[in-house]
């Protein structure tokens, strides 16, 4: 995969979203010390992953870990994102976070600054762990606090039938090709549009997935030395100007200012838009909702003439260790187990996600042509989500969306929007 330089770059660029997120916090400051199955140590592991996986699959992995590590019992604390996010945040503030915790990258900076999660760089060093096998790491002030276990990438989806009807021979690879395809698709009429852009302020992750993704796809960055760099940044200005040009040309599906990610997926699934940027996690959802829909996956188009590696947006199931855990060594064993080649391959396979271990390969990439294509895109690019690890990442997205909406409405220029967003971001940093 050639991940040496790519991993280094990913560490620098990983900045949130995800699409699914966290779990119930533990009731204490770590494992109880008395395993329910007679073990010496019980590790509490709070996460949102188990409900997202086939019944029993994640528990089976924990059983495998326990068999390989006599004396350690894993107690899974599982729950959906909507009902458990606040509990995890409350646990971080109260010092009652579980020993091992599933993390959304958007929370990492705040948790690290609170002292709620442990410095994994130090733990890996003490354990003699070779971190070159990790696809990426999420760092704050130079130290790793979260490791992405599996990644859900956001490539471009194109409706094969709509593109064919519009006379577009293949998914666009450049911005010029994309704009041309969007015009031709919109020209079909019947309330069909070329592209869909969710900019809801309530759920502002469209800023990272659907706007800033154009910057990352051409190797650009919205940061400099870890600080906001929206102004006097040709990469950012050209990417946002491209989005504004698409808006002005009328190829964007109506309702963008209140649209959320799930609305975007519905528009594409029902054939009302020809192209969208979306999570690979929605492939099976789309297939189940509309079995007759034929669609393709490709890399997000880059600037004309760009030949470098393309950043691809992603959301992760991240993992960390509680700073208050009394069993950090045992907790690290569980993290190391999940990041091992074979286990990571197995977990990414059942999650239909891409692995966090550079040597792992999920089964589905060989069984499903669409996923296989997406895996090639993943291997040929680098995971890019600069909001991961930033302070109040969701608010940063909301700030940006507010100013972008004003620009799209004609109340200010793109440069003015970037300057206003920069000012807000600097106050948040």
Arithmetic mean of pLDDT, 167-179: 98
User: Poorest-confidence range of 19-28, 182-191, 359-368?
Assistant: 19-28
pLDDT at residue 398, as a whole number: 96
- Which tokens hold the place of 332? 């690290």
- For the chain, the straight-line distance linking the first and the last C-alpha, in angstroms and rounded, comes to 35
Arithmetic mean of pLDDT, 392-405: 95
Q: At residue 25, does pLDDT exceed 80?
A: no
Q: At residue 185, does pLDDT exceed 90?
A: yes
Answer with the residue of higher pLDDT: 386 or 89. Answer: 386
Q: At residue 37, does pLDDT exceed 70?
A: no
| DSSP structure string for 39-74 | -SEEEEEEESHHHHS-TTHHHHHHHHHHHHSTTEEE
Conformational region of residue 226, where left means phi above 0, alpha means psi within -120 to 50, and beta covers everything else:
left
Q: Which residue's entry shows tokens 């009429």?
A: 189
Give the model's confidence band at 365: pLDDT under 50 very low, under 70 low, under 90 confident, else very high: confident
Q: Which residue's entry shows tokens 């604390």?
A: 77
Instruction: Please choose, from the candidates 183, 138, 156, the residue with its C-alpha nearest in 3D space to the C-alpha of residue 17.
Output: 138
pLDDT at residue 152, as a whole number: 87
Q: At residue 223, does pLDDT exceed 90?
A: yes
Q: At residue 27, does pLDDT exceed 80?
A: no
- Which tokens hold the place of 295? 């669609």
> Burial of 197 by CB count in 10 Å (0-12 exposed, 13-18 middle, 19+ buried)?
buried
pLDDT at residue 322, as a whole number: 96
Q: Which residues of 81-229 form beta strands (DSSP E)?
A: 100-103, 138-140, 143-153, 156-159, 193-195, 223-224, 227-228
**DSSP label at residue 92:** H
Q: At residue 20, does pLDDT exceed 60?
A: no
User: Poorest-confidence range of 23-32, 46-55, 101-110, 391-400?
Assistant: 23-32
pLDDT at residue 23, as a whole number: 34
Q: Cα–Cα distance between 386 and 401 in angstroms, integer?
A: 16
Helix (H) / strand (E) element for 231: namely none
pLDDT at residue 409, as a whole number: 97
User: How many other CB atoms are found less than 10 A from the CB of residue 260?
Assistant: 16
- Which tokens hold the place of 36? 């329910």
> Within 13 Å of residue 273, how many CA atoms lie on the same side as its CB?
25
Q: Which residue's entry shows tokens 């599996």?
A: 150
Q: 389 with 105: CB under 8 angstroms?
A: yes
Q: At residue 265, does pLDDT exceed 60?
A: yes
Q: 152 with 278: CB under 8 angstroms?
A: no
Arithmetic mean of pLDDT, 321-326: 96
User: Poorest-confidence range of 78-87, 103-112, 177-186, 391-400?
Assistant: 78-87
Q: Cα–Cα distance between 348 and 340 in angstroms, integer?
A: 12
Q: 42 with 341: CB under 8 angstroms?
A: no
- Which tokens hold the place of 92? 């971080």
**DSSP label at residue 26:** P
pLDDT at residue 6, as a whole number: 36
Answer with the residue of higher pLDDT: 85 or 249. Answer: 249
Q: At residue 356, does pLDDT exceed 60?
A: yes
Q: At residue 12, does pLDDT exceed 50?
A: no
pTM reported for the whole predicted model: 0.76
Would strands 156-159 and 193-195 be described as parallel, antiparallel, or unpaired?
A: unpaired
pLDDT at residue 26, as a whole number: 39
Arithmetic mean of pLDDT, 387-414: 94
Q: What's the helix, strand, coil split of the chain in %, to 5?
A: 45, 15, 35
Answer with the residue of higher pLDDT: 161 or 394. Answer: 161
> Domains (ranges, CATH) in the chain?
3-153+313-383 (3.40.190.10), 156-311+392-428 (3.40.190.10)
pLDDT at residue 352, as a whole number: 84
Mean pLDDT of the chain: 88
Convert the pLDDT of each residue in 124-136 to its tens digit: 999 999 999 999 8
pLDDT at residue 82, as a whole number: 52
- Dihedral sign of CA atoms 105, 111, 113, 116 in order: negative
pLDDT at residue 211, as a whole number: 98
Arithmetic mean of pLDDT, 166-190: 97
Q: Cβ neighbours of residue 348 under 8 Å, at least 6 residues apart?
A: 150, 354, 355, 356, 360, 362
Between the alpha carbon of residue 387 and those of residues 15, 222, 333, 349, the distances in Å are 4, 9, 28, 26
User: Poorest-confidence range of 16-20, 299-303, 321-325, 348-352?
Assistant: 16-20
Convert the pLDDT of each residue in 227-251 to its tens digit: 999 999 999 999 999 999 999 999 9
- Three-state secondary structure of 241-265: HHHHHHHHCCCECCCHHHCCHHHHH
- Which tokens hold the place of 322? 């509680």
pLDDT at residue 7, as a whole number: 35
Q: Cα–Cα distance between 203 and 154 in angstroms, integer?
A: 17
């Amino acid at each position: 995969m050639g991940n040496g330089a790519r991993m280094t770059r990913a560490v620098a660029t990983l900045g949130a979203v995800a699409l699914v997120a966290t779990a119930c916090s533990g009731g204490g400051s770590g494992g109880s010390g008395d395993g329910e199955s007679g073990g010496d140590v019980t590790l509490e592991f709070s996460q949102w992953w188990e409900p997202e996986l086939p019944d029993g699959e994640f528990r089976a992995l924990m059983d495998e870990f326990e068999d390989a590590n006599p004396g350690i019992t894993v107690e899974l604390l599982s729950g959906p994102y909507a009902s458990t996010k606040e509990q995890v945040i409350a646990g971080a503030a109260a010092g009652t976070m579980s020993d091992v915790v599933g993390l959304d990258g958007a929370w990492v900076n705040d948790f690290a600054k609170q002292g709620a999660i442990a410095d994994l760089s130090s733990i890996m060093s003490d354990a003699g762990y070779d971190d070159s096998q990790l696809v990426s790491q999420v760092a704050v002030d130079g130290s790793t606090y979260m490791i992405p276990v599996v990644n859900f990438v956001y490539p471009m989806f194109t409706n094969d039938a709509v593109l064919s009807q519009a006379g577009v021979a293949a998914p666009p690879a450049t911005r010029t090709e994309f704009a041309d395809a969007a015009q031709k698709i919109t020209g079909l009429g019947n309330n069909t549009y070329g592209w869909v852009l969710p900019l809801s302020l309530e759920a502002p992750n469209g800023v990272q997935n659907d706007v800033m993704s154009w910057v990352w796809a051409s190797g650009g960055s919205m940061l400099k030395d870890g600080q906001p760099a929206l102004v006097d940044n040709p990469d950012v200005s050209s990417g946002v100007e491209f989005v504004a040009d698409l808006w002005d040309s009328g190829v964007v599906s109506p309702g963008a200012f209140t649209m959320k990610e799930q609305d975007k997926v519905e528009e594409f699934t029902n054939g009302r838009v020809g192209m969208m940027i979306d999570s690979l996690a929605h492939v099976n959802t789309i297939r189940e909702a509309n079995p007759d829909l034929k669609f393709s996956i490709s890399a997000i188009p880059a600037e004309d003439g760009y030949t470098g590696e393309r950043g691809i947006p992603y959301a992760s199931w991240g993992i960390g260790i509680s700073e208050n855990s009394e069993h950090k060594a045992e907790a690290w064993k569980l993290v190391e187990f999940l990041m091992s080649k074979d286990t990571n391959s197995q977990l990414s396979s059942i999650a239909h996600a891409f692995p966090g271990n550079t040597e792992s390969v999920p089964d589905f990439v060989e069984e499903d042509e669409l996923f296989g294509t997406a895996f090639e895109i993943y291997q040929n690019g680098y995971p890019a989500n600069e909001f991961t690890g930033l302070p109040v990442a969701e608010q940063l997205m909301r700030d940006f969306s507010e100013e972008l909406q004003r620009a799209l409405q004609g109340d200010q220029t793109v440069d003015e929007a970037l300057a206003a967003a920069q000012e807000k971001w600097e106050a948040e940093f």
